[in-house]
Amino acid sequence: MRIAVRVFDGITTFHLAAPLLVFGELSRRYPDSGWTTTVWSDDGSPVRTEEGVTMGDLHGPSVSEHADLLVFPSWPVHLPEPEPGLRDLIRAAHARGAGIAGLCLGSFPVVGSGILDGRTAATHWSAAEELAVRHPAVQVSPNALYLDHGDVLTSAGTASALDACLHIVRARLGSEVAATVARHLVIAPHREGDQAQYIDRPVLDDPEEGAIGETMAWALENLDRSLTVEALAGRASMSPRNFSRRFRETTGMSPARWILSRRLDEARRLLETTDRPIAQIAAACGFASAVTFRQNFTARYATTPTSYRNRFTDHAEVPVEHSA
């Protein structure tokens, strides 16, 4: 997997660090994975970050011709239209089958290339309206953390870029590898792409918040149980109505949706790392039947559990890249 990350004068160090951190950690933890990352500028010249750090030893745009994934980690804050040459470069890479990722404001050159016309895109919530006005052929989601069409991914800002890059690792190498990378980076291993970018009410230092966190941790250890809102609320010593309200305020999603996502996460892990029958995995993850499990799994990932498992038949310690 050859990854090419584009930089420009004025890029913030954090936005650049997000993909370099995730993909670099993957390469360090799994040196035989074949994942390599290069950084390039429009002419290969050094660039100066917004924080005043000069970055040298950069490649030119020719590296995009051989990359399997092009990453645009940001874009100038005045949101210029991408130059024709850059638009052509993105379209050419996409046409030959390379993946394209626009992180935060980096969605602007990706959307500007036209490869997302008729589809959806994400960006930092503060720039979503501007992106939608400029490109009416694209449906812009102001809330999503990231949106992945398989060939093109766009994400919201700051920490969402880490989520998106971990998602890329997970989609190609599996949940176990992504969790290992996340654990060593001390970041959350998985947030759903359509989770809210931010929570309207800040998390408070409140005993109820602690009770919700403890209940979430307990639920993760008991996914095979019937985890109704009533059961979770009882565990937190709260009424179902108050628990649901506080849970959504704290996490940005409903208890039922969070439980389903965690069950599907665990199911993917078991499919990747064990030979347990589908029915056993369904039961271990709290699904009422194998049929219900298959329906939910297929609805979320557009593939069956069996087909998904076939992508991860090699359980060696060092991952092997699989084609999509």
CB atoms within 10 A of CB 314: 11
Q: Which residues of 24-53 are buried (b: 16+ CB within 10 A; e: fewer)?
A: bbbbeebeebebebebbbbeeeebebeeee
Q: What is the pLDDT of residue 116?
A: 97
Residues 124/250/232/230 CA torsion (nearest 10 deg) = -90
Q: Coil, helix or strand for 73?
A: coil
Q: What's the mean pLDDT in 108-122?
A: 97
Instruction: Please state the length of the chain.
Output: 324
- Rounded to 10 degrees, the C-alpha dihedral 287/290/295/297 comes to 70
Q: At a CB cut-off of 8 Å and minimum separation 6, what does 265 contact? A: 175, 190
- pLDDT above 80 for 205: no
The Cα–Cα gap between 94 and 88 comes to: 10
- pLDDT at position 209, please? 62
pLDDT above 80: residue 172: yes
Per residue in 256-274, pLDDT tens? Answer: 999 998 999 899 889 988 9
Residue 273 has a pLDDT of 86
For residue 155, with 0-12 CB atoms within 10 Å meaning exposed, 13-18 middle and 19 or more buried, which class applies?
buried
Band (pLDDT 50/70/90 cuts) for residue 25 is very high
> What domains are there in the chain, each with its CATH number?
2-185 (3.40.50.880), 207-252 (1.10.10.60), 257-310 (1.10.10.60)
- What is the distance between the alpha carbons of residues 234 and 217, in angstroms, rounded to a whole number? 15
